[in-house]
Amino acid sequence: KGTFLQVAGRPRSIVQRKQQSHDHSLWKNMSYVCDLTGLVSNPCSSNKIQICCIDDEPYAISVAVCRYRSPSYLYKAVCAHYLKKQTHQQSIEKALQHINQSTVILDDEDESTKESNDSMTFSLTCPISKTIIETPVRGTTCKHWQCFDLNNFLQTSEIVSGGRWRCGVCEQFLSCKDLELCGFYTGLLEQYKGVAHPNRDRVQLFSNKKWVLMEETKLRYGNKKRPNNSQSGTSGSTSQNGTNANAQQEIIIL
């Protein structure tokens, strides 16, 4: 409590992430990252960093010299040097292993991946952005078949949060060197380019290595009309307030 930094005599406050509710005089847990770039006037000269504190309790502060890499830079670097690329045949064999295991994997409430004894259904939509995948990847140690988009993964990892560098499906930690490019997914995205969209994104793969893009997902109750209880005997009759009793009501699905 009361700890702050000084760089070349210029102070910078430290913001704590979360303080203990039972004792506000204590600093517990980690603080937010404190970027000192703006306080360094000349990086080629000596810069004195002072940690000022009035507390007697022990504490630890780490200082890291970092180089910022944009998501677009990382995307090019990962694709060129780190991404493990599976061929179409290798991806098919891995998918057949999932089918033969006869397990059921539910990624979320939308059930984006289902497996049965003779087929497997998965989605071409990225679970991170809910848009069609462009560069399909998954972790080399992930147990699921569903892929997510590489660019979306890098974009969301740019923000400092607890969800950084986590798989978009199972949420296990992944580095740029732990990703593999699915050749089968890549072929499907090319085959159904312009046809697949978030409402028609599900592919069913069978154990005989054939697949089909499933029909568009229908909204529940989307084609149903709410009954009009104000109807009286004849067609076109009106209720007491003068409105048409047979007029169809518009139903908005939220």
Report pLDDT digits (tens) over 43-81: 778 888 888 877 677 777 777 778 889 999 999 999 999
Q: Quick one: CA dihedral 92, 97, 101, 105, positive or negative?
A: negative
Task: Quickly count: other Cβ atoms within 10 Å of residue 18's Cβ.
Answer: 9
Q: What is the dihedral of CA 127, 128, 133, 135, to 10 degrees?
A: -120
Q: Quick one: CA dihedral 131, 137, 143, 145, positive or negative?
A: positive
Instruction: Tell me which of 31-40, 79-88, 108-117, 203-212 is least confident.
Output: 108-117
Instruction: Tell me which of 54-63, 113-122, 166-175, 223-232 is least confident.
Output: 223-232
Residue 214's alpha-carbon distances to 122, 126, 201, in angstroms, are 10, 17, 7
Q: How far apart are CA 40 and CA 21, in angstroms?
A: 35
Q: What is the pLDDT of residues 128-167, one digit of tens each?
A: 999 999 999 999 999 999 999 999 999 999 887 777 899 9
Asked whether 123 and 112 are in contact (CB, 8 A), the reply is: yes
pLDDT score recorded for residue 228: 45
pLDDT score recorded for residue 133: 96
Q: What percent of the chain has pLDDT over 70?
A: 71
Confidence of residue 239 (pLDDT cuts 50, 70, 90): very low
pLDDT score recorded for residue 250: 59
Closest CA to 30 of 66, 64, 62: 62
| β-pairing verdict for 179-181 and 84-85 | parallel
Average pLDDT in the chain: 78
Asked whether 183 and 91 are in contact (CB, 8 A), the reply is: yes
Element spanning 165, H or E? none
Burial of 213 (0-12, 13-18, 19+ CB in 10 A): middle
Higher pLDDT, 191 or 7: 191
Task: Tell me, yes or no, if the pTM score tops 0.85.
Answer: no
Provide the angle, in degrees to the nearest 10, between the axes of the packed helices 183-191 and 88-101. Answer: 100
Burial of 185 (0-12, 13-18, 19+ CB in 10 A): buried
